[in-house]
Structure 1
Amino acid sequence: MPLFIIEREYAERVDPYLGAFDEINEINADEGIRWLYSFLSLDRRKSYCLYEAPSAEMILSAAAAAGLPADRVTEVVGRILPSGALEPVV
């Protein structure tokens, strides 16, 4: 399944709490996508999330249903390792 990086910009500082994640994961499952993990910026106003999804449109739909921003959605083909090797997404 294709991988996507989602960049989210928040107007307020994000303070994640466990209760919110169940609802987000349910919405994602309904859309046929899977949230793998996220990085949160030091100021807690931006996150970078890695998702598996059939399409960017499905990610945008799930984000809208969850009330989350999805400012940039970028499909990725692999990751570059410190050795310089490209490891393709499988």
Structure 2
Amino acid sequence: MPLFVIERTYAERVDPYLGAYEELNEINASEGVRWLFSFLSLDRRKSYCLYEAPNAELILSAADAAGVPADRVVEVVGRLLPSGALEPVV
């Protein structure tokens, strides 16, 4: 399954709490996408999320349905390791 990095910019600070994302995960599942994890910026107004999805359009559709931003969606081909090796996405 292709991997995508999603950059999100929020109008207000994000304060995550346990159980807050059940509905988001249900919406994602209905669109055929899967949220793997996210990084949150120090000011908590940006996140960078790693998703599995058949294509970027489904990620955008899920974001729209969930009412969350998706400023940029970039497909990734692999991980660049500190050794300089490229580990392909399988």
Counterpart residue type for residue 40 of structure 1:
L
| CA apart distance, 1:45 | 0.3
| CA apart distance, 1:20 | 2.2
| CA apart distance, 1:18 | 2.1
Runs of 5+ consecutive residues of structure 2 not aligned to the other structure: none
Give CA-to-partner distance per residue, 1:18-55, whole Å, 9 cap, x none: 23210010000000010000000000000000000001
| Runs of 4 or more above 6 Å deviation | none
Say which SS state the counterpart of residue 4 (structure 2) adopts: strand
Say which SS state the counterpart of residue 20 (structure 2) adopts: helix
Match of 1:66 in 2: 66
Match of 1:57 in 2: 57
Match of 1:16 in 2: 16
Give the number of the structure whose residues are more often helix, by fraction: 1
Say which SS state the counterpart of residue 79 (structure 2) adopts: strand
Pairs aligned (count): 90
Question: CA separation in 1, counterparts of 2:21 and 2:61?
Answer: 17
Give CA-to-partner distance per residue, 1:57-82, whole Å, 9 cap, x none: 00000001111000000000001000
Give the alignment's TM-score, normalised by structure 2: 0.98
Runs of 5+ consecutive residues of structure 1 not aligned to the other structure: none
| CA apart distance, 1:17 | 1.9
Say if 2:41 is the partner of 1:37: no
Give the alignment's TM-score, normalised by structure 1: 0.98
Question: CA separation in 2, counterparts of 1:26 and 1:20?
Answer: 12
